[in-house]
Structure 1
Amino acid sequence: MAQRWTNFKKNLYRIPDVALTRWLRNSPSCQLQLHAFSDASRRAMAAIIVLHWLHSSIPVGNSLINNYISHIQEIMPSIIWGHVPSQLNPEDVASRGAKLTTLTHDNSWFEGPDWLRESPFSWPCSSLNFASVNVSQIVADAMRLRLKRPSTVPILSPITANEFNYAFYACVLLSQRHHFAPELVQIRTREGYLSRQSPLKGLDVFVDPIGILREGGRLQHSSLSYNARRPPTLSSADPSAKLVITWAHHRALHGVFRSTYVHVVRRAWIIGGKRQIQAHIHRCVVCIRAQPRPIKQAISPLPLERVTSVRGFTRNRS
């Protein structure tokens, strides 16, 4: 801490070296654009929800947030909102901390990013990676606003375990309706009959009372919970399956395939999940770094008696 404070004081003497260009060299006929960048906070609402609210005219179900959004849309009707990847956002320079010597040589902080000078059609348009976003957190926040919880529970209070479970099964329902729509119709109308081309053929699947497609299995008399005995079925091509595998691998403390597989099947039955689990473990940076390297010991040369040809029984010892 003392060393950091000393370095900070040394950087203060370089403040006079920082110069800001005040004259923009513009004429009355030219058009100016103002671009503002911000950095998301871990305690703030998810950026994907906020951007959706700003682009939408549908109420979110909470009067406080509705007032904020309508006020922003009224005073800034022509604002274009977008998401910029972290590595291209100049705001990260300040939010993550930077030395003054580094800041003075950073053109993006004083002049804006280079991509801003190009055509707007070539500007970065980031699509969030669901493998790195806590989708359950986002869905739980949205469901809390939609369900209008009692006023005794603050809107921005921590999400409970039950809300996380509701959010997970909401994602499961959407995933199954997208990937197993024909199978859901066949199970409900033909008493469990599935076509031969169905990926669920050969599985003991059924639809529970709330509409979730589950794997029957042979653990009906087990002491496990209902969700562990009858896990929901997911397609390996769905992002929810990748999130389940990531969660299970962390839950298994980056264990090998078998330990990760046990946690996966207790959460969801993934079609073709074994290949996805193995691929995830092979790509895991933590597991790759923790792999022990075999020690290669130098082999000593053979003794002279082993490499010299002599007559038989010459070196016999009594």
Structure 2
Amino acid sequence: MDCFSENRIAEIRKLTPVERWYHLPGTSNPADLPSRGCSPKQLLESKWWEGPNWLYEDPEIWPFSNFDNNEEEICAERKKNLVSTLLSVDNINTWHLNHFSGYNKTIRMIAWIFRFLHNCRRSGEKDIGELTAQEYQTAENFVIKLIQQECFSNENVQRISGLNLFYDEDGVIRLKSRVSNREDTKNYHFPVVLPSKHPLVNQLIMDKHVKACHVEYGLPDYDAVDKISLCRKARKIQSLRGDLRARFRTEYLGQLKLKCNEKTGQEIAIGDLVFVEESNSKRMDWPIARVVVFPASI
């Protein structure tokens, strides 16, 4: 229904009650004559200008037509309202980060939750024992999709609109790289798209970095090293150093014991964590050591 007809109908409904409405057959409606086609002479001789004769008679003798309500046509003519659903990413849901600070522990926690739900739905034999590789992979795919839904919503889709992306069989957003024809793993051919500032992504980077013993895999390309990337890397290192210092104060500093004066008579025991004093560095930068006894030195 066009805007003109909609406005006219709205005005008629506002000015007249529904009980006074009548349905007129198209053949008896003089207003439909121009739309059906006629010559100028027929238009002048028709009742289009003054209306039909029965309009001046009593309403009881007006023509009447029976018609059935077609719900499909009514729904097709009904005005449609566009509803957009947007996912807010201002407050990232980090419920899965409140119990464990490591990426591997977080994934295993999700996997154990999935196993519990699976066992609750089954009435027969339950899954027991250690987690399988398939259960771990299912939990990891779930967490990855959760991160992508949080950070790549409709309002942030422009961040990845210029990339050649696709959904794999697990529903994970991946990138079609230029080395897809090379014989290598799936994660190398089609890497997973993840945001750079998500807390769980930082845990993933730290987990892989620790497993690699904090070594570099290779030197970056000369073209990739510029002022912007170096500044970004410096800020990342500074932020990581601040996080490590904060965790050190809360998790390790309370377990350390300072060597008391000789007047108290308390000595450091074997197995205690201690600081190794260095005169040319700050106390926060002193290395940590554990007191051990070697048989050869007794």
Relative to the length of structure 2, the TM-score reads 0.38
Larger Rg: 2
Bigger RCO (CA 8 Å, 6+ sep): 1
